[in-house]
Amino acid sequence: MAKVIVNGEEQDISLPVSLIELIRQNQVSQPDMVSVQINGIFIVREKYEETIVKEGDEVDFLYFMGGGR
Amino acid sequence: MDFREDQIERYSRHILLQDIGVEGQERISRAKVLVIGAGGLGAPVLLYLAAAGVGTLGVMDGDVVDLSNLQRQVIHFTPDVGKPKALSAKEKINRLNPDVHVVAYNEFFTAENALNIIRDYDFIVDGTDNFPVKFLINDACVLSGKPFSHGGILRFDGQTLTHLPGTACYRCAFHSPPPPNAVPTCSQAGVLGAIAGMLGTIQAAETLKFLTGTGELLTNRLLSFQAKSMHFRTTPIRRNAGCPVCGEHPTVTVTTLHEAEQAVCELKKKRG
């Protein structure tokens, strides 16, 4: 088990894990619903599968919110 | 600017604030702010900015008041159903504070009118309800060097970010609109009415902070909250070299704004 920080909170996960897998583990039903940055760097959607999350990484899921009216 | 006696009384609670004072209130009274969308977010933003005495308030919305709006769009009242939202909002603002000059635009924000309209304003507030227009507001403001407040709400959640020229923009964090229908809108998924008030008042506070030079704005950070747990978080956001509008190799320019307009038209067609 290794620790990564997801949206500011520690999570224990088993490595290796790809970003797309971490997205699924965090119950994001569709990857299209989030924008993701790892250690402050945004990851383009096309690289979610090939990006590997490392121990200590800070991962932020930012949700698209289109409402307002 | 010399305030009348009644204005000094009206704005006394601002004037008492050390960070604002008479000088800050003068800045507010001289300012021009454009609020795009007179709905869930626009309603509280407009009411608080009107109460604060913002000199000129632009109200832009091409829609009419619907009964289903009244659960959260607190600037519109039951007898307003069927009335253009820009007009309904203007009436309330005039009654709340006759000092405020209101410019009502009974039309939607499009790639054609975007740059022309925002030119006249010091600060722009996004109170719209769809991604093509949210991205268009970002692009038009970044390309024009205009500061603005982004806001988005859904179900029990909200998010907001303030952009000043040179700071991270909405596209730095969200790059491009999600595929149509991948992310539901409030009209599909619902929204707790008070969430619009929570986020809209944050946007109004950011506007007044900007106008008076008070405190630290929500620049280079995204504030998001989940009202079910009342968990608030700010996530640091950096300028993104790959940003399509303010990055090293921009693909969004004044001429491509018209492509965004196309997307809006297609969305409208799909909604039918």
**Portion of chain B with pLDDT greater than 70, in percent:** 95
Nearest to B126 by CA among B112, B107, B116, B140: B140
Q: Report how many domains make up chain B.
A: 1
Note whether residue B35 is domain-resident: yes
pLDDT of residue B218: 98
Interface mutation vs chain A, best among B61, B159, B235, B267, most A CBs within 10 Å: B235
CB contact (8 A) between residue B159 and residue A42: no
Give residue B268's pLDDT band: very low, low, confident or very high (50, 70, 90).
Answer: low
Residue keyed to tokens 């009964």: B67
pLDDT of residue B271: 60
The four Cα atoms B11, B14, B15, B16 give a dihedral, to 10 degrees, of 120
SS3 B201: helix
Type of residue found at B154: L
* Distance, C-alpha B75 to centroid of its chain: 15
Fold topology of A2-63: Ubiquitin-like (UB roll) (3.10.20)
Residue B1 DSSP label: -
pLDDT digits (tens, 9 = 90+) for B210-237: 999 999 999 999 999 999 999 999 999 9
Interface mutation vs chain A, best among B59, B154, B187, most A CBs within 10 Å: B154
Note whether residue B25 is domain-resident: no
Could you give the angle at the alpha carbon of B87 between the alpha carbons of B84 and B90, nearest 5°?
A: 150
Asked if the ipTM is above 0.95, the reply is: no
Minimum-distance CB partner of B173 among A8, A42, A68 = A42
Structure token digits, residue A25? 């583990």
pLDDT of residue A31: 80
Query: B53: Cβ–Cβ under 8 A, 6 or more apart, which residues?
Result: B7, B10, B11, B25, B28, B29, B97, B99, B100
Query: B72: Cβ–Cβ under 8 A, 6 or more apart, which residues?
Result: B39, B40, B43, B191, B193, B194, B195, B196, B197
B59 contacts B103 by C-beta, under 8 angstroms? yes
CB contact (8 A) between residue B63 and residue A69: yes
Gap from A1 CA to chain B (nearest CA, Å): 26
pLDDT of residue B145: 98
The CATH number of residue B103's host domain is: 3.40.50.720
Per-domain residue ranges of chain A: 2-63
Structure token digits, residue A19? 């970003």
Interface mutation vs chain B, best among A30, A38, A65, most B CBs within 10 Å: A65
Note whether residue B104 is domain-resident: yes
A62 CB near a chain B CB, below 8 Å?
yes
Would strands B221-226 and B231-236 be described as parallel, antiparallel, or unpaired?
antiparallel
Q: Chain A: residue nearest B183 by CA? A: A33
Residue B222 pairs in a beta bridge with: B235
Minimum-distance CB partner of B134 among A33, A60, A66 = A66
Provide, as residue numbers in chain B, all residues whose Cβ is less than 8 Å from the Cβ of A68.
37, 39-42, 126-129, 134, 151-153, 186, 196
pLDDT of residue B267: 65
Gap from A47 CA to chain B (nearest CA, Å): 14
pLDDT digits (tens, 9 = 90+) for B12-60: 999 999 999 999 999 999 999 999 999 999 999 999 999 999 999 999 9
pLDDT of residue B188: 78
- pLDDT of B87 over the 90 cut: yes
Note whether residue B16 is domain-resident: no
Q: Which residue range(s) make up the domain with B216?
A: 31-271
pLDDT of residue B234: 97
Nearest to B60 by CA among B143, B148, B142, B145: B148
Give residue B116's pLDDT band: very low, low, confident or very high (50, 70, 90).
Answer: very high
Q: Quote the mean pLDDT of chain B.
A: 94
- Tell me what the mean pLDDT of segment B102-108 comes to: 98
- Grouped pLDDT means (10 residues each) for chain A, 69 residues: 93 92 86 91 93 96 90
Greater model confidence, B182 or B131: B131
The strand ranges marked E within chain A are 2-6, 9-13, 17-18, 34-38, 41-43, 52-53, 58-63
- pLDDT of B252 over the 80 cut: yes
Note whether residue B148 is domain-resident: yes
CB contact (8 A) between residue B238 and residue A40: yes
pLDDT of residue B270: 65
